[in-house]
Structure 1
Amino acid sequence: MLKTFALSLGILAAAGPALAQTAATAAELCDKGQVVTVRFNELTPGGTFDGFKAAASANQKFYRDRGINGNVQLVGRAMVRDAKTGTWSFSPNGVSTAHINSPMVRVDSNDPAWKAFVAQYDANSKVTAIQTLCYMPAIDETATIMSEIKRLEQVWVDKALSGDAAGLGAILDDSYMSYGKSKPETKADLLASTADPKKKPKAVSISDVTVRVEDNLAFAQGVWTETDSAGKVIRLSFLDIWKQDRRGAWKAIVSQVGPVGP
């Protein structure tokens, strides 16, 4: 594993002059990203994962006690996949820390607090590899997300018009709630209404749709225009809140509707 890791770093080093930059500090070199120091460790025969986590907590506290607050430490366990069954399990010994925005400052190695957490690490693990990396900001997918949410809003229209409750249910979270009508509606309420032939609209459209994205939430606003079976036109303003699940799919979790003035 270490040989492969070193080979990968060698490929990066040979990528050409474009990567050959220098700076006085890691933070200066990585001025457009985040400095992350990754350590790969193996638990020693007497070491435990809990002991390793305690060492990382003491390490973090060391910096906090000295007014350094911009860094974050993640503690992880290596995972392995069984080639025969395809199942995953935790490695019995592989552990790691990822130190985000790790402080590149000189510390007194004789400081008792420093010695204490280093001793905790040493009592539970040994380092097998260390690499400091510069991670660039995440790729901005705002435009793609906005387009996807607008597409889903149109899917909502199409499913409502066709009475396709199952299709509509696929884009609603199980916790979905709608507010603003005579009483709150759950996902089950909305799907039952959609499937009811007596409530099937003659026409549905949306207009003036705008989308705002914040982290894993998207907020869609617009006007819903519906012509019911009796020919009555209903116009409602809507705010739909969408959330991205762990698989990357967007599901509506909350709607707020209200009348639109003449």
Structure 2
Amino acid sequence: MLKEIMIGLGALAASGAAMAQTAPTADALCAKGQVVTVRFNEIKPTGTIEGFNAAAVANQKFYRDKGIKGNVQLVGRAMVRDAATGTWSFSDKRASTAHVNPPGGGRGDPNDPAWKAFVAQYDANSTVTAQQTFCYMPAIDETATITAEIKKFEQVWADKAAAGDAAGLGALLDDSYMSYGKAKPETKADILANTADPKKRPASVKISDVTVKVDGGYAFAQGVWTETAKDGKVTSLSFQDIWKQDREGNWKAMMSQVGPVGS
């Protein structure tokens, strides 16, 4: 959910026709999207960023203590670019919160001590300079494109393993990669060492029945890995790979689970 929202940030997600509509609640008006309330805050001379962050934590805890779990609060700190040096730094004066899926009931009870406590924390550290509630539509669906990309990577994986191309295979694996299901867990280093060892290299590798499920910045691939050893022995294993997309949009395999076919 957060990935979809952040992709959409910065673009008002209502068309001119939709903006002309009215509804009794924000949730009803934004039925096909995601309601996000954005606040911009100026840190007071007597306040601190740390105090502002603590207020946001208390704000979130207030809702959790009330049994409300569907909302998420993002806390942001303004970044400033120095025109002379081109370097970036954090502002000590400007901060923001984005309340994703705020409870439809609106403001809490102003007489509730827990509500008054976190509001007092905010007020002690900052002043709200602007506030707006937006309707963000889901990100453009790239499931088909990502599915095809992951299937391609799975085939490249098999090809690199058969060719003994440890460097090529290494480019697909995250440094934290782990594989489970054999006699002992294998790290990325273990996998690459086996790939580079001619004695352990299979004569051929084939993958089949590959399916992919995409969930935000993760992709879950499963299929059957069949390798033929140089002595002709054939081994088939079912595999499940977890892929994660980094901030640059690149996919890396994080973990694998292998086992007998049909298990």
TM range (shorter): 0.7 to 0.9
How far, CA to CA, are the matches of 1:242 and 1:16 in structure 2? Answer: 38
- Determine if contact 1:224/1:236 at 8 Å carries over to the other structure: yes
SS in 1 for 2:258: strand
Please give the TM-score of this superposition, normalised by the length of structure 2: 0.80
How far, CA to CA, are the matches of 2:209 and 2:64 in structure 1? Answer: 48
- Determine if contact 2:224/2:236 at 8 Å carries over to the other structure: yes
Counterpart in 1 of 2:179?
178
Relative distance call for 1:253 and 1:113 in structure 2 (3 A) is: closer
Relative distance call for 1:100 and 1:16 in structure 2 (3 A) is: closer
Q: State which structure, 1 or 2, has the greater radius of gyration over its C-alpha atoms.
A: 1
Q: Is the aligned partner of 1:220 residue 2:217?
A: no
How far, CA to CA, are the matches of 1:240 and 1:219 in structure 2? Answer: 6
Which consecutive unaligned segments of at least 5 residues does structure 1 have?
1-10
How far, CA to CA, are the matches of 1:222 and 1:150 in structure 2? Answer: 10
Counterpart in 2 of 1:124?
125
Cα deviation for residue 195 of structure 1 reads 1.3
Cα deviation for residue 48 of structure 1 reads 1.2
Please give the TM-score of this superposition, normalised by the length of structure 1: 0.80
How far, CA to CA, are the matches of 1:69 and 1:222 in structure 2? Answer: 35
Cα deviation for residue 132 of structure 1 reads 0.9
Identity of aligned residues (%): 76
Moved more, 58-67 or 94-103: 58-67
Counterpart in 2 of 1:145?
146
Moved more, 89-98 or 245-254: 245-254
- Determine if contact 1:242/1:250 at 8 Å carries over to the other structure: yes
How far, CA to CA, are the matches of 1:58 and 1:199 in structure 2? Answer: 56
Relative distance call for 1:200 and 1:20 in structure 2 (3 A) is: same
Relative distance call for 1:152 and 1:118 in structure 2 (3 A) is: same
Cα deviation for residue 124 of structure 1 reads 1.9
Letter in 1 for 2:259: G
Cα deviation for residue 153 of structure 1 reads 0.5
Moved more, 242-251 or 60-69: 60-69
SS in 2 for 1:138: coil
User: 5 Å matches for 1:64-213?
Assistant: 69-103=69-103, 104-105=105-106, 109=110, 116-213=117-214
Letter in 2 for 1:167: G
- Determine if contact 2:49/2:92 at 8 Å carries over to the other structure: no
Cα deviation for residue 58 of structure 1 reads 4.4
- Determine if contact 1:199/1:229 at 8 Å carries over to the other structure: no
Which consecutive unaligned segments of at least 5 residues does structure 2 have?
1-10
Q: How many residues align?
A: 251
Counterpart in 2 of 1:37?
37
Moved more, 69-78 or 29-38: 69-78
How far, CA to CA, are the matches of 1:71 and 1:77 in structure 2? Answer: 20
Greater RCO structure (CA 8 Å; 6+ sep): 2
Q: Deviations over 1:1-39 (max 9, x none)?
A: xxxxxxxxxx97xx7445311112212211222221111
